[in-house]
Structure 1
Amino acid sequence: MRYDDDKDPGTAALAAVAGLARSVEALTRDVAAMKTGLQQTASKTAVARLSDTVASLGTTVASFEDLLTRVTAKPNSRGKGTGSSDVEPVSWLRLPEDDESAVQAVLSELLPWMESTYLRYATSAESLPPCWLWHPEIVEELLWLMDAWTGAYHGPEASNKLVGDWHDRQRPGVARRIGEYAPSCDVLKHRDPAGQPAVVVPLAADADEFVTWWTTNRDANGPAPTAEQIKAGRPRGGLTAVPDTAGGQR
């Protein structure tokens, strides 16, 4: 089935089905009329015409069945349809923690795609750090980019418009962000913090006092930070001394 990029796929499918239905109806009338004629004449010409008509009807029915198959395509192994509108996005960050098979299934698709497609582009290969699997944000970016590529190239919604968008905007954007996520990172840098929490929400343990402030006195400034909160809020490698209110340190 072909249709214009600006035309809704559902509308295009319905129009095609309606056209096929009209063709089938017309051919059915022709067959009935010819059968009536054959009863009277039974000429060789009429028999040949009937044979051609039946063959044409079979082709039309086959096209009709093929159309229905593609319009109602079953989801693939990841629960996604063949068109980009049917894709259920998969998030690396939200995969079940106790389902090793789900994680394995995602990587079994991502790794071959990276080798065959993503890393074929120089800017993609240059920005991808060798420790990319240690960075869930990078895996997340690659997953959605792979799904976008699949939607652009395969399925009933594939189009040059989507392919162009993937090349011009989506892939370069992901490559740029990956370079920003892990500049100059390598595998050895992940050795020392192994086993430590990967993400710590700053001041999460002190949230209660902010609940009180926001529910009782939000028109005033928030609670004054403690020395421990100031230290916790500083970037890694920053100064550990905390100034007191008189300008000294404590």
Structure 2
Amino acid sequence: MTSRPERDDPFYPPRVLTQPTILPVPIVWSAHSPDSQTLLREELDLWIDWLTDRYRLDHRTVPDCWHDHPELLEELSALHLAWQGAFATSASPDAPLRWHEQFAAAINRLTDWVARTGCRPDGHRARR
């Protein structure tokens, strides 16, 4: 999802990540239609762009084809949900620190799953 042409097109306004104000609702991906899943992935994609830039994550942790791998979609979605809860305006003062602890564990799982996909920066490998 990171290769959409409008990202570099000045016609489109820049996408902006906003601070969460309310506690999020978990996403049960299989409960949504394909069209609904596409819209939800686009919102998640904005956050993943921010995450990979902010924490300097590369393709070994979050490949460009993350959305084609259910295990990565679920992990990144859960991590996003935890981030929204930790950084919501109603969050407790230590919630961001706890999120970073969860993030460290998630990085290990993501890296392991990405290694198993066989995907590389120059190509996606479909599930068998």
Residue in structure 2 matched with residue 95 of structure 1 by the alignment: 31
Residue in structure 2 matched with residue 140 of structure 1 by the alignment: 74
Q: Which amino acid aligns with 2:98?
A: D
* Cα displacement string for residues 102-121 of structure 1 (whole angstroms, at most 9, x for unaligned residues): 10221121011111234421
Gaps of 5+ in 2: 1-20
Does structure 2 conserve the Cα–Cα contact (< 8 Å) formed by 1:95 and 1:103? no
Q: Is 1:129 the counterpart of 2:63 in the alignment?
A: yes
- The alpha-carbon distance between structure 1 residues 119 and 139, as it changes in their structure 2 partners (threshold 3 A), is farther
CA distance in 2, matches of 1:152, 1:108: 21
- Give the structure with the higher percent helix: 1
Does structure 2 conserve the Cα–Cα contact (< 8 Å) formed by 1:127 and 1:175? yes
Query: What is the 5 A alignment of 1:1-250?
Result: 82-83=22-23, 87-92=24-29, 94-96=30-32, 99-122=33-56, 124-125=57-58, 126-156=60-90, 158-167=91-100, 169-183=101-115, 185-186=118-119, 187-190=123-126
Gaps of 5+ in 1: 1-80, 199-250
CA distance in 2, matches of 1:100, 1:127: 26
Give the CA deviation at 1:188.
Answer: 4.2
Does structure 2 conserve the Cα–Cα contact (< 8 Å) formed by 1:152 and 1:159? yes
Give the CA deviation at 1:101.
Answer: 2.9
Higher relative CO (Cα under 8 Å, sequence separation at least 6) belongs to 2
Q: Which amino acid aligns with 1:89?
A: P
Q: What TM-score comes out, normalization by structure 2 length? A: 0.67
SS of match in other structure, 1:127: coil
* Cα displacement string for residues 200-225 of structure 1 (whole angstroms, at most 9, x for unaligned residues): xxxxxxxxxxxxxxxxxxxxxxxxxx
SS of match in other structure, 1:116: helix
Two-structure CA RMSD over aligned residues (Å) = 2.3
SS of match in other structure, 1:140: helix
- The alpha-carbon distance between structure 1 residues 188 and 100, as it changes in their structure 2 partners (threshold 3 A), is closer
Does structure 2 conserve the Cα–Cα contact (< 8 Å) formed by 1:128 and 1:175? no
Does structure 1 conserve the Cα–Cα contact (< 8 Å) formed by 2:41 and 2:67? no
